[in-house]
Amino acid sequence: MIRKTVAHHGRPPSLREIAGQMKISGHRAVQKHLAALERKGYLRKGAGARGLEVIGQAFGRTIPILGEVAAGKPVLAEENRLGALLVDPALAPWKDAFLLKIKGESMKDAGILDGDMVLVKPQPGADPGEIVVAMAEGEATVKRLVKQKNRLLLKPENPAFDVIPISEEDGSFRILGKVMGVFRLPGI
């Protein structure tokens, strides 16, 4: 319960929250349980009402890596879970945040390289200028969303790649989410 609270809220639970979640009556009973966990080496109590630290547990929130997405020509992005990454909850506070592994070099001038992981905040829309994960005709790609006159464009950040025009009437176009960060991890 303490691990889940830290992972979801970025802070340990209070004694009252522990009592309520664990259906324990009284703060004294919670304190006894916490003291037993501390004696056994599972928990460290610090100062303050929320001064609890689970020992041997990495701090963070697990974000799933749902597959690969092109940063080049669009390719089908199958939700193929490749694993997960433990990140600080402050970096990804959105429900259903996910990571995608980048394939290609079309976003290199924006600092997104082949093999990087992009952190995506799921949302159906974005403002012009934002970097998005978008679906067009059943294929997914990471590009900068640009509005030009009455058209949307998916613009690469590498002059060697072409802009992808999207018509407003294109029923197959949709934004899956906004890119909120980039992780460059060796060997993943």
Full residue range of the structural domain in which residue 145 is found: 61-183
Q: Could you give phi then psi for residue 68, rounded to 5 degrees?
A: -110, 150
Nearest to 43 by CA among 35, 32, 31, 55: 55
Among 54, 71, 95, where does a domain finish? 54
What is the pLDDT, as a whole number, of residue 102?
94
- Catalytic one of 106, 108, 155, 178: 106
CATH code of the domain containing 47:
1.10.10.10
Q: Is 188 a domain residue?
A: no
Q: What is the pLDDT of residues 128-178, one digit of tens each?
A: 999 999 987 677 899 999 998 888 899 999 999 999 888 766 677 899 999
Do 47 and 70 belong together in one domain?
no
Name the pTM for this structure. Answer: 0.67
**167 a catalytic residue:** no
Residue with tokens 């522990």: 18
Does residue 130 sit in the same domain as residue 172? Answer: yes
Please tell me whether residues 72 and 157 are part of one structural domain: yes
Q: What is the pLDDT of residues 72-126, one digit of tens each?
A: 655 545 456 777 787 888 888 888 999 999 999 999 999 999 999 999 999 999 9
17 and 36 belong to one structural domain: yes
CB 115 within 8 A of CB 71: no
For 149, 172, 181, the CA distances from 177, given in Å and listed in that order, are: 23, 15, 12
Domains contained in the chain, number: 2
The catalytic position among 103, 143, 155, 178 is 143
CATH number of the domain that residue 71 is part of: 2.10.109.10
Residues 87 and 153 in one domain: yes
**pLDDT, position 11:** 79
Within this chain, do residues 67 and 127 fall inside the same structural domain, yes or no?
yes
119 located within any domain: yes
pLDDT at 6 over 80: no
Alpha carbon distance 74, 68 (integer Å)? 11
CB within 8 Å of 54: residues ≥ 6 apart? 2, 3, 6, 42, 43
Distance CA 24, CA 7 (A): 22
Is 154 a domain residue?
yes
Asked if the structure places residue 101 within a domain, the reply is yes
pLDDT at 168: 62
